[in-house]
Amino acid sequence: MWWEDKIMRTFRCRLKQSPGVLGSLLTSIGEEEGLIGEIKTINMGSTYVVRDVVVFADNQANMDRLIRVVQKNPDVDIIEVRDEVLEMHQGGKIAIRSRYKIDTLSELRKVYTPGVAEVCMKIKENNRLAWRYTSINHFVAIVTDGSAVLGLGDIGPLASMPVMEGKATLMETLVGLSGVPILLNTKDTDAIVETVTNIAPTFSAIQLEDISSPRCFDIEKRLQERLDIPVMHDDQHGTAVVVIAALINAARMADKDLKKCKIGQIGLGAAGLAVTKMLMYYLQNPVLGADIDEEAIKRLESAGGIPSTLEEICSSCGVVIATTGVPGLIKENMIRKDQIIFALSNPHPEIEPDLAKAAGAACAVDGKSVNNILGFPGIFRGAVDAKTPRITTEMLVAAAHAIANAAGEEELVPNPLDRSVHKKVAQAVALTALKQRLNREDLSGYFD
Question: Is 244:209 a contact under the CB 8 Å cutoff?
Answer: no
Residue of 167, 256, 277, 424 marked active site: 167
Give me the phi and psi of 298, to 5 degrees please: -65, -40
Residue type at 99? R
Give me the phi and psi of 272, to 5 degrees please: -60, -45
The closest alpha carbon to 322, from 295, 344, 346, 299, belongs to: 344
Quick one: residue 423, left, alpha or beta (phi over 0 = left, psi -120 to 50 = alpha)?
Answer: alpha
The closest alpha carbon to 391, from 279, 278, 237, belongs to: 237
Residue of 6, 16, 101, 112 marked active site: 112
The closest alpha carbon to 343, from 358, 318, 317, 324, belongs to: 324
Is position 122 annotated as part of the catalytic site?
A: no
Is position 167 annotated as part of the catalytic site?
A: yes
The residues carrying an active-site annotation are 112, 167
